[in-house]
Structure 1
């Protein structure tokens, strides 16, 4: 298998929830929980955090250094360039894109998505509910070849392309082979929001972690448990 790397974008700046990536979630900085989960992806060769080169993100860099995972620093606003330069610096052939606002990211689904990309001979694959995956928001990942990322970097000149990494590819299905895998029935809940972008999102995440701890003890809740817990609370049908 080609060199597969997770690039996790994370920075301190957030207009609705400042400093959220290092905010303690059930006693552990949210970024730490995400790294722990992504570290369980078996199909991944290297995990790297890509943050900005601004002084405000020195705290992210210091946290990453203590965790012993890879670190890359680049443009705060041109995230596509940050990804392209990071992938080149680490020699990745395939890039898994992860973000610092998803503390319930599913490593099992990450492995399944990587296998799907290789099996189908794709340039890009994602597991987002907006594209029909059926997973809750914030659980799935996306994966692309380094060549597809490089083509996006060369030709994606609009502001949204530089900010969002994936949109040049998503907007051009005729140029990039792309698809979305199916979702196991016990993980289907596309209306459930498990990303953290607002104080309300963070409170929901804390509530779920507290409930899981009371029920199961230590550890991280998996997606079937999260979906079932959300249904009992009336958060999703």
Structure 2
């Protein structure tokens, strides 16, 4: 079975334009995400961006990283995912977003392993036992195709998977949880400039070339320096999806 990791990326985020091109230490956020995702087991990697000239820089990063890319629709991200998965013959898709520069390949592997352990249609760790920013979703091409054909809501098209995880009677859904811990307060994604400030502090303390620091390394750092969490703790989880729902 062919597993393809699809990293969605575009330059003009409404809340923080060009965020994935922002620099951290020696490279861009997108480069760091790709570098970490390369440590995930047995999957090809594709960066899925738009056809617009503004996103040529994203394609250039993919090329320099020696990974594949796909260019599709701007706001219909579900269509972009489906066509990318179809082009690269994916049987299994792992969805990673490009605004998660602390993505932990070991935790992502746990999601893939659970998906493969039984006949799931969809497995995710996107729950409050994990920090926001480690989100990994794994689903079958068959489930993606069904969502692509049947999703009508704008929010479903923009956020790719809601049709799947909302329809528990149609799809077999699995969840990976982090030993029942509550990590609702941990915000590790980049949607605003203060998120980037927080992430830069983490990278300044933990990043080393050719090494990948993991979730527990960040948690240990934050136990020693809890004041860092105050930088961006005022933002709520999944704000982007909430905004999209209000526009349906």
Q: How high is the TM-score relative to the length of structure 2?
A: 0.87
Larger deviation: 105-114 or 87-96?
A: 105-114
Unaligned runs of 5+ residues in structure 2 are 231-248
TM-superposition CA deviations, 1:7-33 (whole Å, max 9, x none): 000010112221111111122111110
TM-superposition CA deviations, 1:72-110 (whole Å, max 9, x none): 000001000000000000000000001110001111111
Does residue 11 of structure 2 align to residue 25 of structure 1? no
Does residue 79 of structure 2 align to residue 78 of structure 1? no
Match of 1:192 in 2: 186
Does residue 156 of structure 2 align to residue 161 of structure 1? yes
Distance 2:105 2:166 in 1: 27
Distance 1:220 1:43 in 2: 18
1:124-139 correspondence to structure 2 within 5 Å: 124-130=122-128, 134-139=129-134
Distance 1:63 1:115 in 2: 29
Does residue 205 of structure 2 align to residue 211 of structure 1? yes
TM-superposition CA deviations, 1:149-190 (whole Å, max 9, x none): 0000000111111111011112111111001122258x8633
Distance 1:205 1:212 in 2: 10
Distance 2:94 2:127 in 1: 17
Does residue 199 of structure 2 align to residue 226 of structure 1? no
1:1-237 correspondence to structure 2 within 5 Å: 2-44=1-43, 46-130=44-128, 134-183=129-178, 189-213=183-207, 217-218=208-209, 219-234=211-226, 235=229
Note if contact 1:43-1:114 (Cα within 8 Å) is conserved in structure 2. no
Distance 1:183 1:142 in 2: 15
Note if contact 1:102-1:196 (Cα within 8 Å) is conserved in structure 2. yes
Unaligned runs of 5+ residues in structure 1 are none
TM-superposition CA deviations, 1:38-63 (whole Å, max 9, x none): 0001132x100000011111111122
Q: How high is the TM-score relative to the length of structure 1?
A: 0.91
Match of 2:239 in 1: none
Distance 1:6 1:170 in 2: 19
Note if contact 1:17-1:198 (Cα within 8 Å) is conserved in structure 2. yes
TM-superposition CA deviations, 1:85-142 (whole Å, max 9, x none): 0000000000000111000111111111111011121100110125xxx111111311
**Cα RMSD, aligned residues only:** 1.6
Distance 1:233 1:188 in 2: 19
What SS is found at the alignment partner of 2:71? strand
